[in-house]
Amino acid sequence: MSESLEKVRQHYDDVADIYDNRYNRNRGRFYYDHIAGHVMDCIPIPGRVLDLGCGTGLFLSACERRGGCGVGLDLSRGMALRAQSRCRESEVTWGNAEVLPFRDGCFDAVTSLLAFSYVRRPEHMLSEACRVLRPGGVIAVCTLGRNLFTSGLPAIYGMAEAMKVRRIGMGSFGENYYTDGEIRDLFECAGFDAVQVRRCSFAHLNLADPLFGIAKRIEPFVEEKVPRLAYNILARGVKPE
């Protein structure tokens, strides 16, 4: 494992106990459920899902509630252990999404929420995802995109690391924030057809009150009319039959 990935793994081992406090309560729950809903709408449910960077299993658990099941994989052993305790119908393991320990064509869908920016070799991860999907299977990835708001995040996160702030994602990890064109090219080069890329999510949980409440109310308008202001990129592709 590279030094940068080891740093990511250690960070999420350290914060695994507070992850649900961020994404499973209050505004964090609204933010996560919103992007999870976008991803869920892209994939066949019920079906067998591989969730890459599964965290504490929030998305896999949502799949189970809709009759699906599958496998969660996370770089952090601490996160994977919490996911396994939450997801009763699915398996959870830990490892690197760039080298998947699964046979060809064994999943109906591959998903990833808020983890793709950490991948060092995204072309390898997407190629592996294509391999383990059945023909006609779907991949859906939601990750931070590059825009006016996210361009300053690396500097902010670097300062947070220097100040030893113990919050999810607060560190200098060399994340990649993609443009719509960049992520489309990655998906197409990995062999996916019918690639769709769009922006989603304007009410980011890091916004202070009352800005979060305002962003919540205008979020549907932003996503439809001025998507460049949205924080996340949602990319979907289909493995050729």
146-191: pLDDT as tens digits: 876 666 555 455 555 555 655 555 556 678 889 999 999 999 999 9
The residue whose two tokens read 């990890």 is 173
Q: Structural domain boundaries of the chain?
A: 3-238
Does the pLDDT value for residue 12 go beyond 90?
A: no
44-92: pLDDT as tens digits: 999 999 999 999 999 999 999 999 999 999 999 999 999 999 999 999 9
- Whole-model pTM? 0.91
CB atoms within 10 A of CB 189: 12
Torsion from C-alpha of 116, 122, 125, 131, nearest 10 degrees: 120
Structural element, H or E, at residue 234: strand 232-238
Residues 143 and 116: beta-carbon distance below 8 Å? yes
CATH topology of domain 3-238: Rossmann fold (3.40.50)
With 0-12 / 13-18 / 19 or more C-beta atoms within 10 angstroms meaning exposed / middle / buried, residue 161 is: middle
